[in-house]
Amino acid sequence: MDKSLNNENITRSSLKLERVIVSDKTSSIVKGAKRIRRSQQQIRTESIFKNTLVIISIFIIVVVFAILLTLFWQSIPAIKLTGISYLWGKVWDPVKDVFGVYPFILGTLLTSFLALIISIPFSFSVAIFLGEYFPKGTLSDLLKNTVELIAAVPSVIYGFWGLAVLVPIVRGFEAQIGVQTIGLGIFTSSVILAIMIIPYAASLGRSMIQMVPSNLKEAAYALGATRWEVIRSIIFPYTKSGLFAGVMLSLGRALGETMAVTMVIGNTSLIPKNIFSPGNTMASVIANEFTEADHPVYLSALIELGLVLFVVTVVINMIGKRFIKGFSNT
């Protein structure tokens, strides 16, 4: 470095006229030397930083695999005891070490699908309302914000509201149609779940509907199609997979939802007789019984339930995500 600096001075100093430039250059070279020393430090930090990013990303993967492995590992005692019959055993009696989760799987499926059936007409309506009829304006802002608000309410609060308000209403309804009047049960849980999942399907559906290219719609309008016909023959086919993804993601959420359901489902390990019976879902059993599990196999059986829940929700979610991806790729 020093040598080149000298050389510079010698060659340049022969040209007196350029003295100003010489001093300029020299200072820049000295500065450059300083800069280079700093830069060596920077290069070290750079590689540390790059490695940190990689390590953290690997760490995320490790966490997810560790979750799966832990669940599996801890389920082994229960798997050894009950084997595959765990899934369709109809009796759950921890005192006698009998673990059959059929009632909970049935409870989970009943609540989730009932919730879907209740929510779909509403969430699709809101999606079409916001996506097609009123994409802008005060009315749509109001609706959009309300839907967002509903999504933000914690589930434990929904559960509390359900206990305080919905349960008495359902009880009255049950008295009228002449079934057992408990109020708590599958139906009540489904209504609360429906309320909780409406925003998901609605906001996803809205964004999908807004992505329909306007030239497609215009082409149909130009042929004399009515609004309804455009929605039916252009928007629905175009957004089909997106709407389906919305339904899947809501289903995933309904399956895994714990608190609100735990509070209003009635918590019984018996197989529900009808949709008004009390029951239990996989998530609510874990929430209710986990801290009471007094021996290892019982604990392990609950963890195995967690594993089943994990696998089911992840599969449902992945299907939903696949469909969204497929949609945005087209």
> Which of positions 45-104 make contact with another protein (CB under 8 A)?
45-46, 48-50, 52-54, 56-61, 63-65, 67, 70-71, 74
User: Is residue 133 a contact residue for another protein (CB under 8 A)?
Assistant: yes
* Residue ranges in 102-121 that form contacts with another protein under rule CB under 8 A: 121
233 vs 274, beta carbon nearer another protein: 233
* Residue ranges in 148-167 that form contacts with another protein under rule CB under 8 A: 148-150, 152-161, 163-165
Question: Shortest distance, CB of residue 84 to another protein, whole angstroms?
Answer: 21
Alpha helices in the chain (DSSP H): 2-13, 19-82, 102-128, 138-152, 155-161, 167-177, 186-210, 214-222, 227-230, 236-256, 259-264, 282-289, 296-329
Of 235, 306, 323, 327, the residue at the interface with another protein (CB under 8 A) is 306
102 vs 122, beta carbon nearer another protein: 122
Q: Nearest-CA neighbor of 240 among 113, 148, 127?
A: 127
Stretch that binds another protein, among 90-98, 179-187, 239-247, 250-258 (CB under 8 A): 250-258
47 vs 274, beta carbon nearer another protein: 47
Question: Shortest distance, CB of residue 257 to another protein, whole angstroms?
Answer: 7
129 vs 327, beta carbon nearer another protein: 129
Question: Shortest distance, CB of residue 185 to another protein, whole angstroms?
Answer: 16
- Give me Rg for the CA atoms of the chain: 31
Report the alpha-carbon distance of residue 31 to residue 104 in Å, rounded: 73
Question: Shortest distance, CB of residue 178 to another protein, whole angstroms?
Answer: 26
Report the alpha-carbon distance of residue 189 to residue 277 in Å, rounded: 11
Query: What single-letter amino acid sits at 33?
Result: A
* Residue ranges in 18-37 that form contacts with another protein under rule CB under 8 A: 21, 28, 31-32, 35-36
50 vs 80, beta carbon nearer another protein: 50
Of 176, 291, 329, 330, the residue at the interface with another protein (CB under 8 A) is 291
Report the alpha-carbon distance of residue 98 to residue 298 in Å, rounded: 9
CA separation, residue 248 to residues 96, 262, 281, 322, 324 (Å): 37, 22, 18, 10, 10
* Residue ranges in 264-283 that form contacts with another protein under rule CB under 8 A: 283
* Residue ranges in 214-243 that form contacts with another protein under rule CB under 8 A: 226-229, 231
For the beta carbon of residue 18, count every other beta carbon within 10 angstroms.
13
Is the backbone of residue 178 left (phi > 0), alpha (psi -120 to 50) or beta? left
52 vs 274, beta carbon nearer another protein: 52
150 vs 271, beta carbon nearer another protein: 150
| 99 within 8 A of 85, measured Cβ to Cβ | no
DSSP 84: G
